[in-house]
Amino acid sequence: MFAELEELGQRARQVARTLRTLDTNVKDNALLAIAETILEKEFDILSANSEDIEAGRAAGLDEHMLERLLLTESRLASITDGVRSVAALPDPVGESFDARTLPNGLRISKRRVPIGVIGVIYESRPNVTVDIAALCLKSGNAAILRGGKEAVHSNRALASAVATGCERAGVPGNAVQLVQTQDRALVKDMLTAHQYIDMIIPRGGPGLHTFALQNATIPVITGGIGICHVYVDESADPQKVLPIVYNAKVQRPTVCNALDVLLIHSAVAGDLLPQIADDLARAEVALRCDPRALAILQGRPLVSAAGPEDFDTEFLSLVLAVRVVDGLDEALDHISQHSTQHSDAIITEDYSNAMRFVDGVDSAAVYVNASTRFTDGGEFGLGAEVAISTQRLHARGPMALRELTTYKWVILGDGQVRA
């Protein structure tokens, strides 16, 4: 094991004991201090980010990776707003629930507690450094972060601001630690460092998730890979269809909750599909169409036949796969075969079909008459997120404060002994 990881792990274990008993006010003050420090160090952080952007371009990173990597004044402001919103949320730690008194007089309950030490392996997005720091701190967890080499300068600048903010508020600066070593071999060491880390969250592409699942000896939370669908039902209101589809695809196409596949009922495809295509053409969205959709849109610019992989691709760009279906059952079958269980939506005025879709789609977030772009910790009122889980255990969807806790049983007695 890398010596650096051993040192980080030992410190994390030690500080986790302190964090689990911190008063809520202390944690909230630390979060507010982190937000202030980030704004104070804005110039340094943006300068570090410029280094990463320049290096990324020189290394040939594609545009969607560079867009994820980019920090701006407005994005930093959004990041600090997220930290403040986490501070304003109720503290889940210490919450008592499922309390009852047994026939023998024992008073038994569950008490919410931190998980311990969270390890996060992530790529590209430097905002993840702060989101995770805020949520782990508020939920009483220590964190060990391993960012990608493409964001090394940005992550170091942000992690430094986090440590400074913690120390200003009287919280140990090593509550959140950033791995400095860029050797990829350290990732495998993190995945097996069960003596130091209680849970691993990988945030990146399919390769990282597969590697984590195949090599970890620690519980792994996977997610964040979204092949997201919108199904336009026969009863859909056209006034809702165009803005929802446009927003889901165009508002920010490089993120996991952006639309990748449009399914449209054959009864309305002839009328609605050309309108959708013309609307998306304003943003230069390329459409990859199945034969029936291609027959309707043939001759339009940016329209081509779908390839064999297009309905199984998270595009992360202005590309959309389109298929005409003959009804809800066919749409449900398609989603079942091709979805990554992230975010899927139906546009319909038929309540029965809406509920069948909600019941039939096994995804972390299922929408009726709304854009998939809302699958986000901030949009759900959670302040921020450490990941969007597409698993079934122990959390699904945006993971925030409550999802970073577990519980212990607390039993209060008065001398009872078991017979």
Q: Is residue 105 part of a domain?
A: yes
Cα 1 to Cα 176: distance, rounded to the nearest angstrom: 20
Q: Is residue 268 part of a domain?
A: yes
238, 332: one domain: yes
Q: What is the CATH number of the domain that holds 359?
A: 3.40.309.10
240, 351: one domain: yes
Tell me the DSSP string of 259-317.
Answer: EEEEEEEHHHHHHHHHHHHHHHHTTT-EEEE-HHHHHHHTT-TTEEE--TTGGG----S
Q: Is residue 283 part of a domain?
A: yes
The pLDDT, as a whole number, for residue 378 is 83
Contacts of 182 (CB under 8 A, 6+ apart): 149, 152
Whether 383 has a pLDDT exceeding 80, the answer reads: no
286, 157: one domain: no
Taking residues 217-234, report their average pLDDT: 91
The pLDDT, as a whole number, for residue 131 is 92
Q: What is the CATH number of the domain that holds 145?
A: 3.40.605.10
Cα–Cα–Cα angle for 182, 143, 23, rounded to 5 degrees: 155
Whether 224 has a pLDDT exceeding 80, the answer reads: no
183, 199: one domain: yes
pLDDT digits (tens, 9 = 90+) for 354-366: 999 999 999 999 9
Cα 322 to Cα 273: distance, rounded to the nearest angstrom: 9
Taking residues 218-247, report their average pLDDT: 94
59, 188: one domain: yes
63, 48: one domain: yes
**pLDDT category, 384, cuts 50, 70, 90?**
confident
Identify which has the larger pLDDT, 63 or 3. 3
Whether 259 has a pLDDT exceeding 90, the answer reads: yes
Cα 263 to Cα 234: distance, rounded to the nearest angstrom: 11
Phi, psi dihedral angles at 241 (to 5 degrees): -60, -55
Whether 257 has a pLDDT exceeding 80, the answer reads: yes
Closest residue by Cα to residue 114 from 47, 241, 24: 24
pLDDT digits (tens, 9 = 90+) for 163-215: 999 999 999 999 999 999 989 899 999 999 999 999 999 988 888 888 998 99
pLDDT digits (tens, 9 = 90+) for 395-405: 889 989 999 99
84, 118: one domain: yes
The pLDDT, as a whole number, for residue 34 is 98
341, 360: one domain: yes
Q: Which amino acid is at 4?
A: E
pLDDT digits (tens, 9 = 90+) for 407-418: 999 999 999 999
Q: Is residue 61 part of a domain?
A: yes
Cα 184 to Cα 48: distance, rounded to the nearest angstrom: 22
* Residue 340, beta-bridge partner list: none
Phi, psi dihedral angles at 407 (to 5 degrees): -145, 160
Residue with tokens 């630690």: 177
Counting residues of the chain whose pLDDT is more than 70, the rounded percentage is 100
pLDDT digits (tens, 9 = 90+) for 93-130: 999 999 999 999 999 999 999 999 999 999 888 999 99
Q: Is residue 419 part of a domain?
A: no
Average of per-residue pLDDT values in the chain: 95
Counting residues of the chain whose pLDDT is more than 90, the rounded percentage is 87
Number of residues in the chain: 419
30, 163: one domain: yes
Residue with tokens 């009726």: 368
Strands in 134-280 per DSSP E: 142-146, 176-178, 199-203, 228-232, 259-265
Identify the domain containing residue 348 by its residue range: 228-374
Task: For residue 209, give both structure tokens.
Answer: 């998730």
Do you find a cis peptide bond into 338, omega within 30 degrees of 0? no
14, 150: one domain: yes
Whether 291 has a pLDDT exceeding 80, the answer reads: yes
Closest residue by Cα to residue 124 from 160, 79, 155, 162: 155
Q: Is residue 206 part of a domain?
A: yes
Q: Is residue 76 part of a domain?
A: yes
Q: How many domains does the chain have?
A: 2
125, 249: one domain: no
The pLDDT, as a whole number, for residue 64 is 78
pLDDT digits (tens, 9 = 90+) for 141-153: 999 999 999 999 9
133, 251: one domain: no
Angle, in degrees to the nearest 10, between helices 152-168 and 127-138: 30
Sign of CA dihedral 337, 340, 346, 352: positive
**pLDDT category, 393, cuts 50, 70, 90?**
confident
